[in-house]
């Protein structure tokens, strides 16, 4: 049995406890927020103070891989999520239980996982506690020190503190080598409003690609859904979406979104929420360190617009359980073995996100500059731009492309199975050639028109 101290009580930290405690490990979670549990989903949404999760009330897309991990490792938790109102979107055939995504608010999801952890007598959850640094013996981390001076000894420290991890500063304070850090400053901004349905809830994810921005309808639990616009960095037109009236005007001008927000169908229940930290980041521990691992967003985070964070955190936590079972509890073996898992299983998604964001920015800026839709990706142009513009339309017309896209975006198959698949690229190119001669109607106003609408 290993003593595991987990820094952070978000999804990654909770999953670590859910998967390690049943395997006999002694798990303690230290979280900066109170350990209190909300009374239910609506109470969690309205009043749960999760300072450590600044994106708590923004759009969340719970992919199939994360659901499958819960189905295999903690089926009672998956059942509890559905009992709390979480829905499901069947992306494959009616009998394809592997290709199913969950729909609910992040507050509901985290509340259900927190309840399962608090009810497990094998896990200690300590709230209102801020980790201020590490304790180490040379290059071996042996515990953590909290802001009140208490030291928590550990065979393994799991940093699951998310995008704002302070691991680099903690190591520097001890004279340990700093982690290697790659970052793509994506810079885009997301604007979200939440709505309450007046009619029977639906489980459908709707996307409206404007080229210079993407609008998404994401259903949740309790008859709620959100509308989110992902916008280019520095776009002065879409920056006006911070204003509620401008947001409503943009939604009304985009038919696929407007049908959901019709006053006869739904009531708006929040103002506009904005989220700007949508960067891609990869962190690697220096060789020779032992007794510490970086888990979930502390190790790798991608643009939240891809909806990968929760699924990868759940997978990463289960992988840690596998590492401990495979190499034993020697910290000198666990840390490098887990770094290998991160490099082989998570890092490809980082590179895919960086490449995807660069292509998306290229397309958006060209559209903002007034270039015609059908000329983007024309013969002799950037093949990645061509693929990115044609792929969404190919998924509507070609079931082979659609299934490959879903399996990749739901993290069931590696990125190369979609973006690097020559058959898929040929199929997308064939659809693109059709679209060049007969382009589809636009999903909404072009950038210049949108500028006029939002200025009124």
Would you state the pLDDT for residue 381? Answer: 66
Residues 28-39 have pLDDT tens digits of 999 999 998 999
pTM here is: 0.94
If pLDDT is split at 50, 70 and 90, which confidence band does 442 have?
Answer: confident
pLDDT at 108 over 90: yes
Q: What is the DSSP string of 368-409?
A: HTT--GGGTT-TTS-HHHHHHHHHHHHHHH-HHHHHHHHHHH
The string of pLDDT tens digits covering residues 312-363 is: 999 999 999 999 999 988 999 999 999 999 999 999 999 999 998 888 888 7
Task: Give the model's pLDDT for residue 380.
Answer: 47
Alpha carbons 101 and 240: distance in angstroms, whole number:
32
Decide if pLDDT at 274 tops 70: yes
Average pLDDT, the chain: 92
Residue 379 has pLDDT above 50, yes or no: no
Q: DSSP 3-state assignment of 145?
A: strand
pLDDT of residue 153: 97
β-sheet with 180-184: strand ranges across = 180-184, 280-284, 300-301
In b/e form, how buried is each residue of 12-40, taking b as 16+ CB within 10 angstroms? bbbbbbbbbbeeebbbbbbbbbeeebbee
Please count the helices (runs of H) and the strands (runs of E) in the chain: 16, 19
Choose the weakest-confidence range: 17-21, 305-309, 439-443: 439-443
Domains of the chain: 3-183+278-352 (3.50.50.60), 189-275 (3.30.9.10), 372-455 (no CATH)
Looking at 105-119, 176-190, 235-249, which range is the least confident one?
176-190
Q: How many CB atoms lie within 10 A of CB 166?
A: 18
Q: Work out the pLDDT band at 56, boundaries 50, 70, 90.
A: confident
Give Cβ neighbours of residue 28 (< 8 Å, ≥ 6 apart).
3, 4, 5, 6, 123, 124, 125, 126, 152, 154
Predicted confidence at residue 105, as pLDDT, reads 96
Rounded to an integer, what distance in angstroms lies between the CA atom of residue 414 and that of residue 407?
A: 9
DSSP 3-state of 155: coil
């Amino acid at each position: 049995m290993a003593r595991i101290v987990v820094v952070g009580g978000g999804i990654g930290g909770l999953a670590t406890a859910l998967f390690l405690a049943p395997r006999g490990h002694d798990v303690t979670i230290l979280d900066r927020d109170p350990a209190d549990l909300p009374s239910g989903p609506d109470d969690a949404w309205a009043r749960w103070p999760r300072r450590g999760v600044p994106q708590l009330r923004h759009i969340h897309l719970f992919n199939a891989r994360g659901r499958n991990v819960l189905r295999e490792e903690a089926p009672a938790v998956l059942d509890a999520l559905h009992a709390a109102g979480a829905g499901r979107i069947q992306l494959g055939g009616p009998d394809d239980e592997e290709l199913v995504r969950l729909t609910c608010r992040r507050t509901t999801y985290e509340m259900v996982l927190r309840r399962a952890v608090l009810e497990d007598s094998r896990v200690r959850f300590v709230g209102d506690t801020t980790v201020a640094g590490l304790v180490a013996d040379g290059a071996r981390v042996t515990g953590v020190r909290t802001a009140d001076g208490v030291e928590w000894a550990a065979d393994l420290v799991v940093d699951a503190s998310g995008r704002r991890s302070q691991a680099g500063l903690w190591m520097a304070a001890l004279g340990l080598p700093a982690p290697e850090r790659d970052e793509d400053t994506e810079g885009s901004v997301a604007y979200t409003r939440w709505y309450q349905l007046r009619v029977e809830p639906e489980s459908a994810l709707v996307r409206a690609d404007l080229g210079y921005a993407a609008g998404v309808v994401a259903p949740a639990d309790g008859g709620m859904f959100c509308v989110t616009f992902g916008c280019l960095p520095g776009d002065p037109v879409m920056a006006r979406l911070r204003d509620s009236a401008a947001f409503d005007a943009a939604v009304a001008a985009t038919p696929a979104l407007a049908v959901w927000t019709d006053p006869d169908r739904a009531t708006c229940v929040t103002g506009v929420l904005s989220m700007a930290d949508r960067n891609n980041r990869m962190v690697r521990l220096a060789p020779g360190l032992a007794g510490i691992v970086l888990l979930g967003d502390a190790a790798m985070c991608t643009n939240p617009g891809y909806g990968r964070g929760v699924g990868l955190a759940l997978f990463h936590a289960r992988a840690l359980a596998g590492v401990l079972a495979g190499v034993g509890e020697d910290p000198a073996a666990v840390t490098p073995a887990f770094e290998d898992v991160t490099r082989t299983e998570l890092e490809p998604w980082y590179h895919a996100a960086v490449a995807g964001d660069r292509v998306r920015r290229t397309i958006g800026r060209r559209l903002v500059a007034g270039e015609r839709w059908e000329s983007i990706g024309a013969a002799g142009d950037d093949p990645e731009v061509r693929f990115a513009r044609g792929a969404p339309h190919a998924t509507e017309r070609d079931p082979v492309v659609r299934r490959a896209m879903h399996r990749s975006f739901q993290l069931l198959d590696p990125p190369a199975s979609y973006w690097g698949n020559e058959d898929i690229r040929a199929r997308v190119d064939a659809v693109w050639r059709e679209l060049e001669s007969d382009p589809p109607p636009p999903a909404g106003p072009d950038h210049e028109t949108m500028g006029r609408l939002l200025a009124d």
